[in-house]
Amino acid sequence: MTVKVMILEDNPVARSFLCRVVRESFTDANHITEAGDLQSARKHIALTGGAQGLHGTDPFKLILVDLELPDGNGMELLAELRRYPATKIVTTLYSDDEHLFPALQCGADGYLLKEDRFEVLVEELQKIVRGQPPLSPAIARRLLAHFRHGPGSGDWQAPDSGFVTTSGFTTSRPVPMEMAPETERLTPRETEVLTFLSKGFTIKEIASLMGIKWFTVNDHIKSIYKKLNVSSRAEAAVLASKQGLV
Protein backbone atom coordinates (compact mmCIF):
# COMPACT_ATOMS: atom_id res chain seq x y z
CA MET A 1 0.00 0.00 0.00
CA THR A 2 1.37 3.32 -0.94
CA VAL A 3 1.63 5.96 1.72
CA LYS A 4 1.50 9.29 -0.02
CA VAL A 5 3.37 12.24 1.39
CA MET A 6 3.44 15.80 0.13
CA ILE A 7 6.17 18.25 0.93
CA LEU A 8 5.46 21.89 0.23
CA GLU A 9 8.68 23.86 0.41
CA ASP A 10 10.09 26.51 -1.88
CA ASN A 11 13.77 26.10 -1.02
CA PRO A 12 14.97 23.09 -3.12
CA VAL A 13 17.85 22.26 -0.77
CA ALA A 14 15.50 22.27 2.20
CA ARG A 15 12.99 20.24 0.22
CA SER A 16 15.43 17.44 -0.49
CA PHE A 17 16.53 17.56 3.11
CA LEU A 18 12.96 17.11 4.28
CA CYS A 19 12.54 14.23 1.84
CA ARG A 20 15.46 12.49 3.49
CA VAL A 21 13.92 13.14 6.89
CA VAL A 22 10.61 11.63 5.84
CA ARG A 23 12.24 8.57 4.28
CA GLU A 24 14.32 8.04 7.36
CA SER A 25 11.30 8.40 9.63
CA PHE A 26 8.88 6.03 7.93
CA THR A 27 9.71 2.81 6.20
CA ASP A 28 6.52 2.78 4.23
CA ALA A 29 6.58 6.34 3.02
CA ASN A 30 7.32 5.48 -0.57
CA HIS A 31 5.52 8.10 -2.59
CA ILE A 32 6.66 11.64 -1.91
CA THR A 33 5.18 14.47 -3.93
CA GLU A 34 7.13 17.67 -3.96
CA ALA A 35 5.55 21.07 -4.51
CA GLY A 36 7.33 24.41 -4.71
CA ASP A 37 4.46 26.77 -4.24
CA LEU A 38 0.82 26.95 -3.23
CA GLN A 39 -0.50 26.67 -6.74
CA SER A 40 1.14 23.35 -7.54
CA ALA A 41 0.25 22.06 -4.10
CA ARG A 42 -3.40 22.80 -4.72
CA LYS A 43 -3.21 21.03 -8.04
CA HIS A 44 -1.84 17.94 -6.36
CA ILE A 45 -4.53 18.11 -3.74
CA ALA A 46 -7.20 18.38 -6.36
CA LEU A 47 -5.86 15.30 -8.07
CA THR A 48 -6.39 13.28 -4.95
CA GLY A 49 -10.01 14.25 -4.64
CA GLY A 50 -10.03 17.84 -3.53
CA ALA A 51 -9.83 19.64 -0.24
CA GLN A 52 -13.31 18.81 0.95
CA GLY A 53 -12.51 15.24 1.43
CA LEU A 54 -14.35 13.35 -1.25
CA HIS A 55 -11.54 10.93 -1.51
CA GLY A 56 -12.33 8.27 -3.95
CA THR A 57 -8.73 8.23 -4.93
CA ASP A 58 -5.82 7.75 -2.64
CA PRO A 59 -5.35 10.82 -0.44
CA PHE A 60 -2.14 12.05 1.11
CA LYS A 61 -1.44 10.68 4.53
CA LEU A 62 1.11 13.27 5.53
CA ILE A 63 1.56 16.84 4.39
CA LEU A 64 4.47 19.05 5.34
CA VAL A 65 3.63 22.71 4.77
CA ASP A 66 6.17 25.47 4.74
CA LEU A 67 4.85 28.70 6.13
CA GLU A 68 7.10 31.03 4.17
CA LEU A 69 6.07 30.52 0.55
CA PRO A 70 6.57 32.83 -2.41
CA ASP A 71 2.92 33.02 -3.46
CA GLY A 72 1.29 33.23 -0.09
CA ASN A 73 1.28 31.83 3.39
CA GLY A 74 1.09 28.12 4.06
CA MET A 75 -1.69 28.77 6.54
CA GLU A 76 -4.10 29.42 3.70
CA LEU A 77 -3.59 25.87 2.50
CA LEU A 78 -3.94 24.58 6.03
CA ALA A 79 -7.24 26.35 6.43
CA GLU A 80 -8.49 24.88 3.17
CA LEU A 81 -7.44 21.41 4.26
CA ARG A 82 -9.20 21.36 7.59
CA ARG A 83 -11.27 18.34 6.73
CA TYR A 84 -8.54 16.58 4.80
CA PRO A 85 -7.69 13.27 6.44
CA ALA A 86 -3.94 13.72 6.64
CA THR A 87 -1.46 14.62 9.30
CA LYS A 88 -0.62 18.22 8.61
CA ILE A 89 2.68 19.51 9.87
CA VAL A 90 4.05 23.00 9.43
CA THR A 91 7.71 23.56 8.87
CA THR A 92 9.13 26.94 9.54
CA LEU A 93 12.21 28.87 10.44
CA TYR A 94 10.30 30.93 12.98
CA SER A 95 10.17 29.34 16.36
CA ASP A 96 8.21 32.00 18.19
CA ASP A 97 4.61 31.61 19.18
CA GLU A 98 3.53 34.68 17.27
CA HIS A 99 3.93 32.78 14.01
CA LEU A 100 3.26 29.24 15.16
CA PHE A 101 0.07 29.70 17.11
CA PRO A 102 -2.03 30.91 14.21
CA ALA A 103 -0.76 27.95 12.23
CA LEU A 104 -1.90 25.62 14.96
CA GLN A 105 -5.24 27.36 15.02
CA CYS A 106 -5.57 26.73 11.31
CA GLY A 107 -5.52 23.04 11.93
CA ALA A 108 -1.90 21.94 12.02
CA ASP A 109 -1.22 18.78 13.95
CA GLY A 110 2.28 19.78 14.89
CA TYR A 111 5.28 21.78 13.83
CA LEU A 112 8.91 21.18 12.89
CA LEU A 113 11.66 23.75 13.19
CA LYS A 114 13.89 23.81 10.18
CA GLU A 115 16.95 24.70 12.20
CA ASP A 116 16.94 21.40 14.10
CA ARG A 117 19.36 18.62 13.38
CA PHE A 118 18.47 15.66 11.22
CA GLU A 119 18.07 13.22 14.04
CA VAL A 120 15.97 15.64 16.02
CA LEU A 121 13.68 16.22 13.02
CA VAL A 122 13.23 12.53 12.47
CA GLU A 123 12.35 11.95 16.07
CA GLU A 124 9.93 14.86 16.19
CA LEU A 125 8.25 13.78 12.98
CA GLN A 126 7.72 10.30 14.27
CA LYS A 127 6.34 11.62 17.51
CA ILE A 128 3.87 13.88 15.76
CA VAL A 129 2.59 11.10 13.57
CA ARG A 130 2.31 8.90 16.65
CA GLY A 131 0.27 11.62 18.26
CA GLN A 132 2.83 13.27 20.52
CA PRO A 133 3.20 16.76 19.14
CA PRO A 134 5.64 19.22 20.67
CA LEU A 135 4.65 22.30 22.65
CA SER A 136 7.06 25.09 23.37
CA PRO A 137 6.61 27.15 26.52
CA ALA A 138 5.52 30.18 24.58
CA ILE A 139 2.87 28.24 22.68
CA ALA A 140 1.73 26.65 25.93
CA ARG A 141 1.22 30.14 27.35
CA ARG A 142 -0.82 31.19 24.35
CA LEU A 143 -2.93 28.06 24.64
CA LEU A 144 -3.62 28.77 28.30
CA ALA A 145 -4.74 32.29 27.52
CA HIS A 146 -6.77 31.09 24.57
CA PHE A 147 -8.71 28.55 26.56
CA ARG A 148 -9.06 30.68 29.65
CA HIS A 149 -10.91 33.40 27.87
CA GLY A 150 -13.06 31.29 25.68
CA PRO A 151 -13.08 30.75 21.95
CA GLY A 152 -14.16 34.28 21.33
CA SER A 153 -10.93 35.90 22.31
CA GLY A 154 -8.96 34.78 19.33
CA ASP A 155 -5.88 36.77 18.53
CA TRP A 156 -4.63 39.21 21.03
CA GLN A 157 -1.95 41.74 21.49
CA ALA A 158 -0.44 42.52 24.84
CA PRO A 159 -0.61 46.28 25.00
CA ASP A 160 2.28 47.76 26.90
CA SER A 161 1.50 51.40 26.64
CA GLY A 162 -2.09 52.35 26.40
CA PHE A 163 -4.49 54.48 28.24
CA VAL A 164 -6.94 51.65 28.61
CA THR A 165 -5.91 49.87 31.73
CA THR A 166 -5.46 46.21 31.04
CA SER A 167 -5.04 43.32 33.35
CA GLY A 168 -2.97 40.43 32.22
CA PHE A 169 -2.79 39.60 28.57
CA THR A 170 -6.15 40.25 27.10
CA THR A 171 -8.23 43.25 26.30
CA SER A 172 -11.81 42.86 27.29
CA ARG A 173 -13.66 42.30 24.11
CA PRO A 174 -17.23 41.22 23.88
CA VAL A 175 -17.57 37.46 24.12
CA PRO A 176 -20.07 35.73 21.84
CA MET A 177 -23.30 35.02 23.62
CA GLU A 178 -23.50 31.47 22.39
CA MET A 179 -20.63 29.89 24.19
CA ALA A 180 -19.22 26.81 22.56
CA PRO A 181 -20.10 23.50 24.22
CA GLU A 182 -17.99 22.03 26.99
CA THR A 183 -15.67 20.06 24.72
CA GLU A 184 -13.76 23.22 24.03
CA ARG A 185 -12.87 23.71 27.67
CA LEU A 186 -9.74 22.21 29.09
CA THR A 187 -9.96 19.72 31.89
CA PRO A 188 -8.07 20.64 35.04
CA ARG A 189 -5.40 18.05 34.25
CA GLU A 190 -4.89 19.47 30.83
CA THR A 191 -4.57 22.94 32.28
CA GLU A 192 -2.00 21.62 34.73
CA VAL A 193 -0.02 20.06 31.91
CA LEU A 194 -0.13 23.27 29.93
CA THR A 195 0.98 25.29 32.93
CA PHE A 196 3.99 23.04 33.49
CA LEU A 197 4.84 23.21 29.81
CA SER A 198 4.66 26.99 29.90
CA LYS A 199 7.27 26.96 32.66
CA GLY A 200 9.66 24.96 30.49
CA PHE A 201 9.37 21.46 31.99
CA THR A 202 9.97 18.48 29.76
CA ILE A 203 7.36 15.77 29.35
CA LYS A 204 9.34 13.39 31.52
CA GLU A 205 9.55 15.96 34.28
CA ILE A 206 5.87 16.71 34.05
CA ALA A 207 5.03 13.03 34.27
CA SER A 208 7.06 12.65 37.42
CA LEU A 209 5.71 15.87 38.91
CA MET A 210 2.10 14.93 38.27
CA GLY A 211 2.60 11.31 39.15
CA ILE A 212 1.26 10.01 35.85
CA LYS A 213 2.74 8.04 33.03
CA TRP A 214 4.67 9.57 30.25
CA PHE A 215 2.18 8.76 27.51
CA THR A 216 -0.72 10.07 29.57
CA VAL A 217 0.90 13.46 29.32
CA ASN A 218 1.07 13.00 25.58
CA ASP A 219 -2.57 12.06 25.46
CA HIS A 220 -3.35 15.29 27.23
CA ILE A 221 -1.32 17.26 24.72
CA LYS A 222 -3.05 15.52 21.84
CA SER A 223 -6.44 16.32 23.25
CA ILE A 224 -5.39 19.92 23.72
CA TYR A 225 -4.46 20.09 20.07
CA LYS A 226 -7.78 18.65 19.07
CA LYS A 227 -9.66 21.10 21.21
CA LEU A 228 -7.70 23.90 19.70
CA ASN A 229 -8.71 22.69 16.25
CA VAL A 230 -12.34 22.41 17.24
CA SER A 231 -12.47 25.72 19.00
CA SER A 232 -10.68 27.41 16.17
CA ARG A 233 -13.11 25.91 13.74
CA ALA A 234 -15.98 27.00 15.94
CA GLU A 235 -14.55 30.47 16.11
CA ALA A 236 -14.21 30.54 12.37
CA ALA A 237 -17.80 29.43 12.04
CA VAL A 238 -18.98 32.08 14.44
CA LEU A 239 -17.07 34.73 12.56
CA ALA A 240 -18.34 33.50 9.25
CA SER A 241 -21.93 33.45 10.40
CA LYS A 242 -21.49 36.94 11.82
CA GLN A 243 -20.32 38.18 8.47
CA GLY A 244 -23.18 36.43 6.78
CA LEU A 245 -21.02 34.09 4.81
CA VAL A 246 -22.62 30.92 6.07
Partner 1 sequence: MSARPVAGLPERQGPDSAFEPGTLERERSALQPPRLTARQRPALALLALLTFVGLLVLVRQLAATPWIDAQWRADAGGAVVLQSSPLPALAALDGLSLASVSNAQGDTVIPDALVLHGLPRWQVSDALRQSQVGQQQSLAALLGQGQVQLNWRDGSAVTLQPTARGVAGLGVPFFVVAALALTLAALGVSALLARPQLRNLLYLLMCLGQAAQLLFVATGTLPGLGAWPRSGAGAGAVLGPLALDALTAAAAVHALVLHPRRQAHAGWWGAGVWLLALVWWCLAWLAPPPGVWWWAQAVALAAAATCWWLARHSYRSEPNPFALVVQHLAGLVGCGLLVVTALVALASMRPETAGPAAALGAWAWTLLPGALLLLAPFASRSRQVLRDGALLAGAAAIAAAIHLVFMASTSLGFTNSLLLAAALGVLVFALARRWARATTMGRHALDAEFTFEQLYRAARDVQMQPGRYSQLLGRLLQDMFEPCEVLEARRELRQARVVGGGAALEVPLRGSSRRAPGQTSPMLVLRYARGGQRLFTDDDARLADRLVEQLRRAVAYDRAVERGRSEERQRIAQDLHDDIGARLLTLMYQAQTPAMEEYIRLTLKDLKTLTRGLAAGDHRLSHAAAEWKADLTQRLAAAQVQPVWDFTHDRDVPLTMVQWSALTRVLRELVSNVLQHAQASSVSIQISLEGPILLLHVADDGRGRAPETWAHGLGLGGVRKRIKLIGGEVAWRENEPHGIVCEIRVTDFGGLG
Identify which range of 112-120, 185-193, 210-218, 222-230 contacts partner 1 by CB under 8 A.
112-120
Query: Considering only residues 200, 208, 209, 213, which one is a binding residue for partner 1 as defined by CB under 8 A?
Result: 200
Residues 204-243 that bind partner 1 (CB under 8 A): none
Rounded CA-CA distance 246/241 in Å is 5
Does residue number 167 form part of the binding site for partner 1 (CB under 8 A)? no
Query: Considering only residues 95, 191, 223, 229, which one is a binding residue for partner 1 as defined by CB under 8 A?
Result: 95
**Shortest Å, Cβ 104 to partner 1:** 17
Of 96, 95, 89, 94, nearest in space to 111 by CA = 89
Indicate the residue among 10 and 58 with the shorter CB distance to partner 1: 10
* DSSP code for 170: B
Count each helix (H run) and each strand (E run) in the chain, helices first. 9, 7
DSSP states of 156-207 as a string?
----SS-SS--BTTB---PPPSS---GGGSPPHHHHHHHHHHHTT--HHHHH
Binding site for partner 1 (CB under 8 A): 11, 13-14, 17, 68, 93-96, 98, 114-115, 117, 119-120, 136-138, 141, 158, 160-165, 172-174, 198-202
